[in-house]
Amino acid sequence: MLIDTYGRMATDLRVSLTDRCNLRCTYCMPEEGLQWLSKPDLLTDDEIVRLIDIAVTSLGIEEVRFTGGEPLLRPGLVGIVERVAALRPRPQMSLTTNGIGLGRTAAALKAAGLDRVNVSLDTLRPDVFKTLTRRDRHKDVLHGLTAAREAGLTPVKVNAVLMPGLNADEAPDLLAWAVEHDYELRFIEQMPLDAQHGWKREGMVTAGDILASLRTRFELTPESTEERGSAPAERWLVDGGPHRVGVIASVTRPFCAACDRTRLTADGQIRTCLFATEETDLRGALRSGAPDEEIARIWRLAMWGKKAGAGLDDPSFVQPDRPMSAIGG
């Protein structure tokens, strides 16, 4: 098991398959991109599957989320999903994506064993999408969402980040659109994971702002604490249900006390928290011939040292050196 000193048990593994992305979202990376990891630094498909196997069979992992960067850019993605689906016990598998490549891959991913997807879409306005992502690919994301729903990668969850002066007014429109298309919408507070280190708490759209905006058009009934469990999103029934909307308030309403996640970066590092400034190397152990038992021991030790919280409210908080694209959401 992956247990820390505060009694939390990690059962959810986030696996970053690549640091590369085909968008340049303003809250994630600069327009020119980043210094990408070299191919020898990346875990191979076999190494990824082996680490997931260890996590599932020896460490109590029950859910695996594939992330990036943009995971659909990983050439071996479908094969990785298929091999992980064959593990026993079989973990639940999901994918967080910008949706651009889903139109051509959704059916194959479903056939390989993927259970569902989270798709990032911050706006319904193509011009605002182009400003936020520095790419004119809005139609491709909408097409990808439709393909995911038709392939049965459900519930299809849509993640939206609201930015002042760009799309902060779109919360009610996004929710109405999500209800119409049977997507589960989740708003995410902008987090301090941008490569430019330009994040400022006083300039962000908070969970309170989002809920106040939504309530101008919808009746929201809070979900019970028991239903939420360790999920990062607080959820509300929309106009009595059955549709729900979620808010992930990592900054203003942190959920660290219930965190059940462990993270594997594309270059084989364990991160105990999205905001961690330290990592534990598993790639070196893999490539030096360490047996599964030794790798599991290193992983357990890393998680044992997990901090109580992210510390975003602490004035001494230091933003992680890696941007979101290199860590995985």
**Position 34 pLDDT exceeds 90:** no
Q: Would you say 262 is a known binding-site residue?
A: yes
Average pLDDT along the chain: 91
**Position 45 pLDDT exceeds 70:** yes
**Position 325 pLDDT exceeds 60:** no
Query: How much is the average pLDDT of 236-258?
Result: 92
Query: How much is the average pLDDT of 14-29?
Result: 90
DSSP state of 11: -
Phi first, then psi, for residue 78 (nearest 5°) are -60, -40
Half-sphere exposure of 35 (CA within 13 A, CB side): 3
Rounded Cα distance, 114 and 95, in Å: 8
Q: Would you say 152 is a known binding-site residue?
A: no
Q: Would you say 259 is a known binding-site residue?
A: yes
Query: How much is the average pLDDT of 6-18?
Result: 97
Rounded Cα distance, 201 and 218, in Å: 27
pLDDT tens, 73-119?
999 999 999 999 999 999 999 999 999 999 999 999 999 999 999 99
For 216, the enclosing helix (H) or strand (E) is none
Per-state percent for the chain, helix, strand, coil, to nearest 5: 35, 15, 50
Q: Would you say 271 is a known binding-site residue?
A: no
Q: Would you say 116 is a known binding-site residue?
A: no
Q: Would you say 14 is a known binding-site residue?
A: yes
Q: Would you say 216 is a known binding-site residue?
A: no
10 Å Cβ neighbour count for 131?
Answer: 14
